[in-house]
Amino acid sequence: EQETNMPASWLNPTPRLNKWFSVVEKAHFSWCLVLTPSSKIMFFPHFFQMLDVYDLLSFDNPDGGVWKQGFDISYQDNEWDNEPLQVFVVPHSHNDPGWLKTFDDYYRDQTQHILNNMVVKLHEDSRRKMIWSEISYFSKWWDNIDEQKRDAVRRLIESGQLEVATGGWVMPDEASTHYSALIDQLVEGHQWLERNLGVKPKTGWAVDPFGHTPTQAYLLRQAGLSNMLIQRVHYTVKKHFASQKTLEFFWRQNWDQDSSSDILCHMMPFYSYDVPHTCGPDPKICCQYDFKRLPGGRISCPWRIPPQAITDNNVQERAQTLLDQYRKKSKLFRTNVLLVPLGDDFRYTEAVEWDQQFDNYQKLFDYMNSHPELHVQAQFGTISDYFEALRKSTGMDPVGINVGQLALPVLSGDFFTYADRDDHYWSGYFTSRPFYKRLDRVLESHLRAAEVLYSLTLANIQKYGQPNDYPSVDNYKLLTEARRNLGLFQHHDAITGTGKDWVVVDYGTRLFHSILNVKRVIVSSAHWLVLKDKQTYFHDPSNPFLQMDDVQPSQDALPRKIIFEVHEKPRLLVVYNPTEQARMSMVTVYVTTPKVRVLNALGHVVRAQVSAVWNDASHAAADVFQVRSATSVHHITALWVYSAPLGLSVYQLMEGMEPRTEAAKYMFLQDGRQISLIHLGTTLKCSNVSCLQKMRLKEDDSEDLVKVEFVLYGTTSNKDKSGAYLFLPDKEATILLNECVYTPQNYPVLIPKKTWKTMAKLPLQANFYPMTSMVYLQDSSGRLSLLTAQSLGAASLKSGQLEVIMDRRLNQDDNRGLGQGVLDNKITANSFRLLLEKRSSECSHSHTCTAPYSYPSILSHMSYMYLNHPLISMAVNQRSDNPSLTPYSPLSASFPCDMHLVNLRAIQSKEEGGGPSEQAALILHRKGFDCGFSNRNTGLLCTTTRGKIHLEKLLTDLKVKSITPVSLSLMHTHNSDADPQEISLKPMEIRTYRLQLS
């Protein structure tokens, strides 16, 4: 029983209780006794792992009555006599930055009117409140309003009537997004708020992402937020949490050894975030309190019982009926503080809706509050008003980030894969529109490369102290636009591939233009940094000094290599390594002759391979050739490529390989469908149904059978079918697993898939998960990892087998609001690396399936970095006289192997003009890694230092005046007695520093 008057003997440390505790602790549960104000003893789980919860649940779907996915809720009328029910009704409007309309169309037709009405209607009554989440819309509106209206907004925020929740650029998807892009969009939103409103968000609000990840919880906590709310969780999990009264918990990272990552989280209990599913368990009653649906309006209640305007004649009955729902909902929680959201998609567009909702609710509140026998206090509130009251009621720190007394349980784990009803699992969107999922990562990589190079260029210009025409302001504006376009695409109907066709094109066009723009920033910055004589720098945007080695013709086309003319006069190449470790990688360019020689920056000949460029399976191009050379790059270096009679023959591709047939079989495309399998520089490309047969491990020359096949799923013949969101396949799978399967989070820590007991209870589509970075299989002797350069859906349904969904084509809609199938498929160049590793030694990190998390190896981390952040090659314009170039490196040595420079991002000046300040944000992440895999003979040019680095010694080219530890998005300054130059990070920790550059 979850609530009962237990016998007094249960309170004594009897052998019975001790024995029972020892059993449940083995199952990753711990329990606590809570004495409530009503003198009832409650017995609750205190710490629990989601893996154990999934094992516990039966995933059946009985009809729960009015709360169809739940159960009947009852209460005693006197339960609130000693402690009244405190109700916070939180008005909100969920504004998708693109879905059925483009971002701009939604803004023009709806969002601007919502925000304009908000200013007027909140000022009419100080008791009215509202929350807003999407800064992408808010900033566009802010740019279009006058100073008088801006002052009115500031007054609403200061008075507590308007709260900005989360404050990210968008409400991001939490499955397909990479953690660095999640950080980018959060920083962009928070920096805008700090610059324009001085606001520091306290609470996260995520009502619509299709499943929830602990990564987002960690990032919000690191940004200084105290609380968060989530909504789209599997209906069976919601029901279980409601029955256990664990819908509110401290969300802790799997890898956290203490409570440093805890953030207080509220899970909404019912089907949706709309009004019918937020006041209580009965949607036909709650719908009667959505006063936008009053008779005569555009929308009505599907249960055919309309709302009634509140009058003196009906207020008593209407208030008591609503209070009954409030009381029933409160029975699912541990305190007498209740949250009731009041809103839906694009609500409060018209002034009349503000009056309908606020006036009618105020009459209900006035009646409830004026009748003490009802034992309720109801009012409008913001989401932070609610959490402050919740914390106060449990004895916690009411507003701060410190947890204080742990009166609520602690949870670790994730909430994937989401199902909203029946067997309708939302695993289809993990792959929908894969072309744009790939384009997202291309912009993400190029933007980071441009941010770092731009910041280094500004510092280097200060160092030389001479005037130049480097376009610092223009470049900063290009970076800002790219940040915002990338941020917009993290929205839960953008990167997910769940928008209308023309909306997808709008997103793609924004990504495409920003890729072109950040390339401009890269070439103009690299131009300055590699010049030996800075006096010769010039900026000519119509005729740039450097030219990228590839070009993308349009937003929906694949990039293609630029063909460089090569003569006896050397052609200079500048190669930029955007990672923080020196690396040996392949540089590939297309040239007009097979007779070439490559020299490095010191003038020494570099071994190079010349090969054919194939027009099709059997015809090589006569006038285009590929040159590949292995090049060691610290940061930026130069190569000389020129025509030479001693160049390798076009067909001398590999030692000992008969040139024409083997090269065509293994090295080149056959028909456009392609898988690339890369291990330490060796690439296999093929299109046959099963082209790969075995892999040889370099370390010990052992061989393993590895097979690649293509398969096809159809959709079910049932009434409900697959669409952009749902995956409802035409076949079932028998789950047969002998090894441990780890699936990724956005963050590079992997969690075990549900255990085979859970998987066997679930349909095939429930066992697909988002693959954002990698997925691996492992047993006690080894590990097979698949690393990815784009987010897709993945599963392991049988032992030793991984499945990755590459693309989806769907004739029909899946009835989740999109109103179309997915028929706009594009030829997509997905990239992967397959890594086979033998476990070499035991170490402190467990590799068993019982561990709630797992780390990649160091080699896996670095291979992933090389895949996602390739070398960037630029050729000096042929019309330029060959100037004197010099390699550039801002680092005295490589960063440690496990330390990642997430970003070095220039901060905008507070002055007019939108240019950079003399400050930069340095964001570092220490990767956790499994030490049970050997790093010998891997070719890595870095070591580990137990998370310690000295910034001043490493960043030799940055004249840093001061280093200040700050929260993730720079909103809060951390006080520390430690030397800010000496940085020490725990495994998995992300930390931000504000650099003041001299």
pLDDT tens readout for residues 555-591? 999 999 999 988 877 788 899 999 998 888 889 999 9
Q: Which residue, 330, 355, 395, 387, is CA-closest to 163? A: 387
Secondary structure percentages of the chain, helix, strand, coil, to 5:
30, 25, 45
Instruction: Please indicate, yes or no, if residue 920 is contained in any of the structural domains.
Output: no
Does 872 or 979 have the greater pLDDT score?
872
Is the bond into 417 cis (omega within 30 degrees of 0)? yes
Strand-strand pairing, 620-633 and 583-591: antiparallel
Q: Using CA of residue 510, residue 514, residue 517, residue 519, what is the dihedral sign?
A: negative
Distance CA 376, CA 358 (A): 19
pLDDT band at 470 (very low <50, low <70, confident <90, very high): very high
Q: Estimate to the nearest angstrom the gap between the alpha carbon of 261 and the chain centroid.
A: 17
Tell me the percentage of the chain whose pLDDT exceeds 90: 65
| pLDDT tops 80 at residue 91 | yes
Element (H, E) at 195: helix 179-196
Provide the pLDDT for residue 447.
Answer: 98
pLDDT band at 747 (very low <50, low <70, confident <90, very high): low
Instruction: Please indicate, yes or no, if residue 834 is contained in any of the structural domains.
Output: yes
DSSP conformation class of 314: T
Mean pLDDT, residues 812-839: 94
Provide the pLDDT for residue 885.
Answer: 87
pLDDT band at 647 (very low <50, low <70, confident <90, very high): very low
Task: State the CATH number of the domain containing residue 52.
Answer: 3.20.110.10
Instruction: Please indicate, yes or no, if residue 399 is contained in any of the structural domains.
Output: yes
DSSP conformation class of 543: S
Distance CA 788, CA 677 (A): 11
Last residue within a domain, chosen from 835, 866, 897: 866
| pLDDT tops 50 at residue 10 | no
Number of Cα atoms under 13 Å in the Cβ half of residue 114: 25
Cβ(564)–Cβ(641) below 8 Å:
yes
- Residues whose CB falls within 8 Å of the CB of residue 76, separated by 6 or more in sequence, listed in order: none
Provide the pLDDT for residue 399.
Answer: 63
Mean pLDDT, residues 99-128: 98
pLDDT band at 643 (very low <50, low <70, confident <90, very high): low
Provide the pLDDT for residue 733.
Answer: 67
Task: State the CATH number of the domain containing residue 802.
Answer: 2.70.98.30
**DSSP-derived secondary structure for 15-84:** HHHHHHHHHHHTTT-EEEEEE-TTS-EEEEEEEEEHHHHHHH--------TTSTTS------TTTTSSS-
Does 124 or 799 have the greater pLDDT score?
124
Q: Which residue, 10, 763, 27, is CA-closest to 426? A: 763
Instruction: Please indicate, yes or no, if residue 252 is contained in any of the structural domains.
Output: yes
Tell me the percentage of the chain whose pLDDT exceeds 70: 86
Cβ(256)–Cβ(416) below 8 Å:
no
Show the domain range for 739: 675-866
Provide the pLDDT for residue 15.
Answer: 37
Provide the pLDDT for residue 76.
Answer: 95
| pLDDT tops 70 at residue 406 | no
Hey, what are 213's tokens? 């990840």
Provide the pLDDT for residue 892.
Answer: 83
Catalytic residues: 208
**DSSP-derived secondary structure for 681-728:** TEEEEE-STT---EEE-TTT--EEE---------B-SSSS---SS---
What is the three-class DSSP state of 414? coil
Residues making up the chain, counted from first to last: 998
| pLDDT tops 70 at residue 727 | yes
Instruction: Please indicate, yes or no, if residue 387 is contained in any of the structural domains.
Output: yes
Last residue within a domain, chosen from 866, 892, 923: 866
| pLDDT tops 80 at residue 771 | yes
| pLDDT tops 80 at residue 442 | yes
Q: Which of 42-56, 60-74, 120-134, 144-158 has the lowest mean pLDDT?
A: 42-56
Mean pLDDT, residues 746-764: 78
Instruction: Please indicate, yes or no, if residue 917 is contained in any of the structural domains.
Output: no
Provide the pLDDT for residue 694.
Answer: 76
Distance CA 165, CA 131 (A): 6
Mean pLDDT, residues 263-282: 98
Last residue within a domain, chosen from 416, 441, 460: 416
Mean pLDDT estimate for the chain: 86
The tally of domains found in the chain comes to 2
| pLDDT tops 70 at residue 4 | no
Provide the pLDDT for residue 682.
Answer: 38
Output the CA torsion 238→244→246→251 (10° steps): -80
Q: Which of 121-125, 207-211, 613-617 has the lowest mean pLDDT?
A: 613-617
Mean pLDDT, residues 468-495: 96
Instruction: Please indicate, yes or no, if residue 138 is contained in any of the structural domains.
Output: yes
Cβ(767)–Cβ(462) below 8 Å:
no
Q: Which of 207-216, 327-336, 912-921 has the lowest mean pLDDT?
A: 912-921
Distance CA 621, CA 632 (A): 30
Instruction: Please indicate, yes or no, if residue 449 is contained in any of the structural domains.
Output: no
pLDDT for 159-218, tens place per residue? 999 999 999 999 999 999 999 999 999 999 999 999 999 999 999 999 999 999 999 999
